[in-house]
Amino acid sequence: MITLAKGDVVAEKTVHLSRESLVRYAGASGDFNPIHYRDDVAQRVGLPGVLAHGMLTMGIGSSIIGEWIGDTALIRSYVVRFTKPVLVDADEGAEVTYVAKVGAVNDDGTARIDLAVTTGSDKVFGKAQAVVVVA
């Protein structure tokens, strides 16, 4: 059994995304939308540049929670509301920081984990929460 209190930081990680990361994810997911690897296409549709896949940033979040809890089967639910895309510069890439905090400890042996995800000063997720089994 894990002992938790509201506000505890249970995991924190900064992930570097490069254009290569996006291409690898595209291959794994089958999402070859060119806004994820071509600046000209991204700009043509009104974007400031190449964006990381939303499902990639979401998946990294769940994997960080899974690493902390020790078994992804203990994640009962995971919801995310996207608020800001992650721009991935061709040369610099992007740094995305994930901080997982206990939002609530429930009487049923679960806890709500709130995930704050940022790139620079931008908040990537407006709401990201996982319910995990801790008992």
Does 124 reside within a domain? yes
Does 23 reside within a domain? no
Q: What was the pLDDT predicted at 64? A: 97
Does 129 reside within a domain? yes
Does 105 reside within a domain? yes
Write out residues in the chain with pLDDT < 70, as ranges: 1
Q: What was the pLDDT predicted at 35? A: 97
Does 36 reside within a domain? no
Q: What was the pLDDT predicted at 105? A: 97
Task: Give the 3-state secondary structure of 12-23.
Answer: EEEEEECHHHHH
For 37, residues 6+ apart whose C-beta sits below 8 A from its C-beta are 19, 22, 23, 26, 50
Q: What was the pLDDT predicted at 89? A: 97
Domain total for the chain?
1
Does 82 reside within a domain? yes
Q: What was the pLDDT predicted at 3? A: 87
**107 is in which domain, residue-wise?**
9-17+53-133
Does 27 reside within a domain? no
Which pTM was predicted?
Answer: 0.94
For the domain that residue 82 is a member of, what is the CATH number? 3.10.129.10
